[in-house]
Amino acid sequence: MFFVYILANSTNTVIYIGVTNNLQRRIYEHKFELFEGFTKKYHIHKLVYYETYANINDAIMREKKLKGLLRKKKDELIGSTNPNWEDLSLRLFPDIFR
């Protein structure tokens, strides 16, 4: 299973799009800023959207497509399933992220 995901900072002004084969591990890495980079610099910790794929190539293609969208379209996509931009990781992994 592969995941394309979108993270946001606390004010939803900065977003990040990524792909992973382990969503729980990857969100943990982002939340606890385990690696240097964009998400650590801008404190992007909140999982606001994700999709699942059986094939890594499909997931990578979708990630590239999402990255190419205008910010308005990304916001609309997130809002279509998560209108309040809640941190979905709190529901998906309640034992880890409380």
Q: pLDDT tens digits, the chain, 98 residues: what are they?
A: 999 999 999 999 999 999 999 999 999 999 999 999 999 999 999 999 999 999 999 999 999 999 999 999 999 999 999 999 999 999 999 888 76
- C-beta separation of 45 from 30 below 8 A: yes
Structural domain span for residue 49 = 2-92
Query: What pLDDT, on the 0 to 100 scale, is given for residue 81?
Result: 97
Report the CATH number that the domain containing residue 71 is assigned in CATH: 3.40.1440.10
Query: What pLDDT, on the 0 to 100 scale, is given for residue 96?
Result: 85
Token code pair at residue 19 = 């792909």
pTM across the whole model: 0.96
Name residue, tokens 């606390």. Answer: 10
**Is 75 a domain residue?**
yes
Domain count, the chain: 1
**Is 97 a domain residue?**
no
**Is 86 a domain residue?**
yes
